Chains A and B, each alone.
Chain A
């Protein structure tokens, strides 16, 4: 199985800050990496797929980058509405696997 490791597990930042979340895969996943945002009580929402492609309707302050085994999600201008837990997921190979999540809070 491909293990997905996210860091940090929690981060606290101020409105307007630029925040970065890292996701590492235990093997090369050929860029097949997605990022999801999950707010309490809701299903995950797709933000980015194929490592850097923004899903339709997602604000442009979200961006993704990376290749091979290391990937990042960046929120360029943190907003109060961005308070959530963010997950990465690889879909290069079965079983599909998710990272453990990063909880983003506002200071």
Chain B
């Protein structure tokens, strides 16, 4: 059974860089047709898609965050990552990693989420 687990610092200072890891178990991130994504949810707010990386390595970003975001993967560790630079209080959110089965499918597997607070 595919499982995703986010990890990262719970607290980040303003202007610093946030780094998150999603560890995948029960499946390989390099086998098609899976697509892997980061999605966040600010406290009391809705859901915002951040970025997606295909099993091929292709990446897609939300234009609202593109200048500050990098999504990448390490197939040897079966992990994928999110880097968000120059964080502000507006980046305080629960960050989820999730999987799509490819074109035509929605996010069918989610991690439990990790809360990140941006504060000095």
Contact = CB atoms under 8 A, between A and B. Distances in A.
Interface of A: 1, 32, 34, 36, 42-46, 49-50, 55, 87, 89, 91, 94-101
9 closest residue pairs by CB, A with B: A34-B106, A43-B110, A96-B49, A49-B106, A98-B47, A95-B62, A46-B108, A100-B46, A94-B60
Contacts of B60: 94
B26 interface: no
Interface string B76-120: 000000000000000000001010100011111011110000000
B63 A89 contact: no
Q: B46, B61, B98, B113 — which one has the most chain A CB atoms within 10 A of its CB?
A: B46
8 contacts: A36-B106, A43-B96, A43-B98, A46-B108, A49-B105, A49-B108, A95-B64, A98-B46
B1 to A, nearest CB: 12
Interface of B: 37, 46-49, 52, 60-64, 96, 98, 100, 104-108, 110-113
Contact of B110 (A34, A44, A50, A91): A44
B111 A43 contact: yes
Nearest to A91: B106
Given A46-B107, A49-B108, A89-B47, 13 more contacts: A43-B96, A43-B110, A44-B107, A45-B110, A46-B106, A46-B108, A49-B105, A91-B100, A95-B61, A96-B62, A97-B49, A98-B47, A98-B49
Nearest to B110: A43
Contact of B112 (A1, A43, A96, A97): A43
Contact of A95 (B49, B96, B110, B111): B49
